[in-house]
C-alpha cells in the first residue's frame, strides 16, 4: 500500500503535468493574420497569398470537408487540413486505434483502444482549436448508418449547406461504393483515394457526378505495378501498409483538395503513384452512360443540359492538363468526342489498369432457372429456412 | 480460379433476378424472397450431398444475417458463429461475411472478424450482379475460406475442439 504522502506526491505530479498541457494549448484565433511572427500559426499559409499562389487564403475557414475513414490515409489527411486551417472537418470511422496501426502516421500507442474518430478529434483540436471537428462513429455501409451519413454530409457545411467536399479514405470497396451512391444522389463532389494491398502504389480520383466518371462507372482504375502475379505472395496476410505510401497519397489528396477549394492550379482528375519506379500517371475519366447507378445517369443528363459556356471554361482547364501530360506519354481521353474509357480497353501505355474485368452483358448458359414463385410469402420462406 | 467442386456447387444454386438493395422498399422484399429460395435450395443440396455446413437466418427486414457454420476436421466438428450486414450498395457489393470469434486469431481477416476473400471473389461477384446472392457468397467466399483456414488454425493450436454444450466463445 502506498502511503498518504506518496499519493499526495503523485497528485502533485499529475497536477503539474495537467497544467503544462493546458499552458501548451493555444487560444482560438478569430481572424487569420498574415503578420510574420513566431506566434502566428497562419503566417506561412498566408504567405501563399503574398506570393500570388492563392487568392484570399482565409476562404479556407468557410470550407467544410468530410473525411470518411480515419486510418492511414484519412488521419494524415485530417491532420494536414487541420494545420491548413480548414473551417470544419466531419470525421467518419467505426474502428478503434490498435497497436497494429503504429506503422502508420498520426496515432500514438497511448491511444490504443480509443475510437479512431475520438482520438483523432482530440489531437486535431489540440493542433488547431480554430477547426470545428465533428465525429461519427459508425459503419456507413449499413442501412441505418447510411441514412445518418447522408444527413451529415447534406447539412455539414459551415452554414448548414452540404459539405464542400467529401474525401474517401476508406480501405474497402463496399464503403467506396456507399460514398459513391450517396454523392451521386446528393450531387456532391468527392475524391476517392486508395493504397494497394501490397503498399507500393496508390491513387486519388476526383469524382464530379455527371461530369467525371463515378466510382461505379467502370471497374476501379488502379496503378499497374507490373509485378508478376505468380511472384506476388498473398499467403497468410490480407494487406501490407507503409507510412510512406499512405503519407504520399494523403499529400496528393489534400493538395488537390486545397487546389479545388481555393481555386488555384489544376485539380487532377486521376493521379496515380507507383512507388516502385516513382511514376505518377494522370488521366481523365468520362462517365459511362450505361452506369448501373441511376443517379449517375441522371447527373450525366443534367450535366449535358448545362449551358455550353459553363462547360467550355472547364474544358479549357483540362486541355492544359492534356498538354502537360503528353510529355510523359500518358494517354488522355479527348474532351470533344466525350468518349469514355472502355472498360476493357488496353491501358498499358498509361501505367494504369482496371482492378478487374467489367461485367459482360451476355447471359450465362450454365444456369438453372430461378424459381421465383409469388405464392409463397417471405414469412413462410423465413420459417422454412429456420426449420431446416 | 474457382475449383471444379465450387463451380458445380455454384451451378446448382438458383440465380437471383431482382436488383434491389434494402433501400428499395418493395423490390427488396422480392429480392429477399429470392435470397431465401436460393439459400433453402443450397442447404437442401448440401444435405443431399452429405455436406451440410451452415444455417443462416435474418432479422425481419433482411438487413442483418446471423447463424452458424461448421467445419469437420479429423472427424471432429468445429462450429462458429457467422454474421453480416447487407450493405446499402448490395447486390453491387457483396456482403462482408464475419466470424467474430476468430477476430485477431488469423491474419486472413479484417477488423471485426470479416474474412479476407481471395482475389478471385470480387471480379466474379461483380460479373454476376445481380444474379449472385447470399448463398453464392457463402459458397464462393466462406466455404473455401473455412477449408483453407480452419485446418491451419487447428494445426497451430489456435482453435480447439469443444464438446457439445460448451459455448463457442473462448
Ligand atoms: Zn457512374
Domains and CATH numbers, chain A: 38-311 (3.40.50.720)
Is residue B163 in some structural domain? no
E strands, chain A, in order: 64-68, 88-92, 132-136, 165-168, 190-195, 201-207, 221-223, 270-274, 282-283, 352-354
Grid cell in block for residue A100: 497494429
CA of B93 from ligand 1 middle (Å) equals 15
What average pLDDT does the segment A352-381 reach?
Answer: 67
Residue B165 maps to a domain: no
In chain B, the number of structural domains is 1
Give the pLDDT of residue A115.
97
Mean pLDDT of the A233-239 span = 64
Residue B23 has pLDDT above 50, yes or no: yes
| Residue that is written with C-alpha cell 487447428 in the block | B154
For A142, the closest chain B residue by CA position comes to B87
CA of B125: how far to CAs of A366, B10, B112, in Å?
A: 16, 12, 22
Reported as type and span, the H/E element at residue B77 is: strand B76-85
For A304, the grid coordinates are: 449535358
**Domain range for B144:** 4-156
**pLDDT of the residue at B108:** 84
Max Cα–Cα distance, chain A, nearest Å: 83
Q: Is the pLDDT of residue B165 over 60?
A: no
Percent of chain A with pLDDT over 90: 65
- Please give the pLDDT value at position A311: 60
Q: Worst-scoring range by mean pLDDT, A17-26, A367-376, B87-96, B132-141?
A: A367-376
| A20 or B73, higher pLDDT | B73
Question: Residue A85 CB: number of other CB atoms within 10 A?
Answer: 20
Establish if B42 belongs to a structural domain: yes
pTM, whole model, 2 decimals? 0.84
Determine the average pLDDT of the residues in B52-71.
96
Share of chain A above pLDDT 70, in %: 82
B169 assigned to some structural domain: no
ipTM of the complex: 0.86
What pLDDT score does A309 carry?
66
Q: What is the mean pLDDT of residues A145-162?
A: 97
**Taking all residues of chain B, what is their mean pLDDT, rounded to a whole number?**
91
What pLDDT digit, counting tens, does each position of A100-113 carry? 889 999 999 999 99
Residue B132 in domain: yes
Is the per-residue pLDDT at A275 higher than 50? yes
Backbone angles phi, psi at A44, to 5 degrees: -75, -30
Closest alpha carbon within chain A to B15: A370
Q: What number is the average pLDDT over the span B112-141?
A: 91
How many alpha carbons fall within 13 Å on the CB side of residue A289?
A: 5
CA of residue A173 to ligand 1 center, whole Å? 15
Residue B47 lies inside a defined structural domain of this protein = yes
Mean pLDDT of B41-49: 96
Check whether A342 has a pLDDT greater than 50.
no
B161 part of a folded domain: no
How confident is the model at residue A25, as a pLDDT? 78
Q: Supply the CATH number for residue B26's domain.
A: 3.10.110.10
**Residue A368 contacts B where some CB pair is shorter than 8 Å:** yes
Say what the pLDDT of residue B149 is: 92
A47-59 residue pLDDT tens:
899 899 999 999 9
B72–chain A nearest CA distance, Å? 19
Strands A282-283 and A270-274: antiparallel
Nearest to A270 by CA among A260, A254, A282, A286: A282
Provide the chain B residues 60-119 that lie in CB contact (below 8 A) with chain A: 60-63, 85-89, 92-94, 96, 107-111, 116, 119
Flag whether B170 is in a domain.
no
Q: Give the span between the Cα atoms of B165 and B101, in whole angstroms.
A: 17
Amino acid at each position: 500500500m502506498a502511503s498518504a504522502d506518496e499519493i499526495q506526491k503523485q497528485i502533485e505530479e499529475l497536477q503539474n503535468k495537467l497544467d503544462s498541457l493546458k499552458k501548451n494549448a493555444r487560444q482560438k484565433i478569430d481572424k487569420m493574420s498574415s503578420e510574420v511572427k513566431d506566434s502566428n500559426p497562419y503566417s506561412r499559409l498566408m504567405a501563399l497569398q503574398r506570393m500570388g499562389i492563392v487568392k484570399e487564403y482565409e476562404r479556407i475557414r468557410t470550407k467544410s470537408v468530410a473525411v470518411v475513414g480515419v486510418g492511414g490515409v484519412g488521419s494524415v489527411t485530417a491532420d494536414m487540413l487541420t494545420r491548413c486551417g480548414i473551417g470544419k472537418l466531419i470525421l467518419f470511422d467505426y474502428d478503434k486505434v490498435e497497436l497494429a496501426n503504429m506503422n502508420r502516421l498520426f496515432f500514438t500507442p497511448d491511444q490504443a483502444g480509443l475510437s479512431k474518430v475520438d482520438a483523432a478529434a482530440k489531437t486535431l483540436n489540440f493542433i488547431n482549436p480554430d477547426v470545428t471537428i465533428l465525429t461519427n462513429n459508425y459503419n456507413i455501409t449499413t442501412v441505418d448508418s447510411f441514412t445518418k451519413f447522408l444527413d451529415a454530409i447534406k447539412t455539414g457545411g459551415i452554414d448548414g449547406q452540404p459539405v464542400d467536399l467529401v474525401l474517401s479514405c476508406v480501405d474497402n470497396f463496399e464503403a467506396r461504393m456507399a460514398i459513391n451512391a450517396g454523392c451521386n444522389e446528393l450531387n456532391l463532389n468527392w475524391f476517392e483515394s486508395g493504397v494497394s494491398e501490397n503498399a507500393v502504389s496508390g491513387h486519388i480520383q476526383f469524382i464530379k457526378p455527371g461530369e467525371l466518371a463515378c466510382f461505379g462507372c467502370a471497374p476501379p482504375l488502379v496503378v499497374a505495378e507490373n509485378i508478376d502475379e505468380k511472384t506476388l505472395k498473398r499467403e497468410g496476410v490480407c494487406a501490407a501498409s507503409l507510412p510512406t505510401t499512405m503519407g504520399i497519397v494523403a499529400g496528393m489528396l489534400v493538395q488537390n483538395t486545397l487546389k479545388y477549394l481555393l481555386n488555384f492550379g489544376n485539380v487532377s482528375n486521376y493521379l496515380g503513384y507507383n512507388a516502385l519506379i516513382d511514376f505518377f500517371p494522370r488521366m481523365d475519366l468520362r462517365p459511362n452512360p450505361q452506369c448501373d447507378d441511376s443517379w449517375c445517369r441522371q447527373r450525366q443528363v443534367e450535366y449535358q443540359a448545362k449551358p455550353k459556356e459553363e462547360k467550355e471554361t472547364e474544358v479549357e482547364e483540362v486541355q492544359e492538363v492534356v498538354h502537360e501530360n503528353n510529355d510523359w506519354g500518358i494517354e488522355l481521353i479527348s474532351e470533344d468526342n466525350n468518349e469514355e474509357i472502355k472498360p476493357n480497353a488496353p491501358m498499358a501505355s498509361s501505367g494504369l489498369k482496371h482492378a478487374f474485368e467489367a461485367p459482360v452483358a451476355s447471359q450465362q448458359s450454365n444456369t438453372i432457372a430461378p424459381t421465383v414463385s409469388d405464392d409463397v410469402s417471405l414469412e413462410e420462406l423465413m420459417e422454412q429456412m429456420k426449420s431446416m | 480460379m474457382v475449383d471444379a467442386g465450387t463451380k458445380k456447387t455454384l451451378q446448382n444454386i438458383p440465380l437471383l433476378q431482382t436488383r434491389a438493395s434494402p433501400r428499395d422498399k418493395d423490390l427488396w422484399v422480392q429480392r429477399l424472397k429470392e435470397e431465401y429460395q436460393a439459400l433453402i435450395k443450397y442447404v437442401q443440396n448440401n444435405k443431399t450431398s452429405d455436406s451440410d455446413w451452415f444455417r443462416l437466418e435474418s432479422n425481419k427486414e433482411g438487413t442483418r444475417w446471423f447463424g452458424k457454420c461448421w467445419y469437420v476436421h479429423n472427424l471432429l466438428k468445429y462450429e462458429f458463429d457467422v454474421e453480416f450486414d447487407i450493405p446499402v450498395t448490395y447486390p453491387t457489393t457483396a456482403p462482408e461475411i464475419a466470424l467474430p470469434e476468430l477476430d485477431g486469431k488469423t491474419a486472413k481477416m479484417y477488423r471485426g472478424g470479416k474474412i479476407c476473400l481471395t482475389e478471385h471473389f470480387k471480379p466474379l461477384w461483380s460479373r454476376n450482379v445481380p444474379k449472385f446472392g447470399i448463398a453464392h457468397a457463402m459458397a464462393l467466399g466462406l466455404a473455401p475460406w473455412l477449408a483453407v483456414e480452419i485446418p491451419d488454425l487447428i494445426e497451430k493450436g489456435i482453435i480447439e475442439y469443444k464438446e457439445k454444450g460448451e459455448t463457442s466463445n473462448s
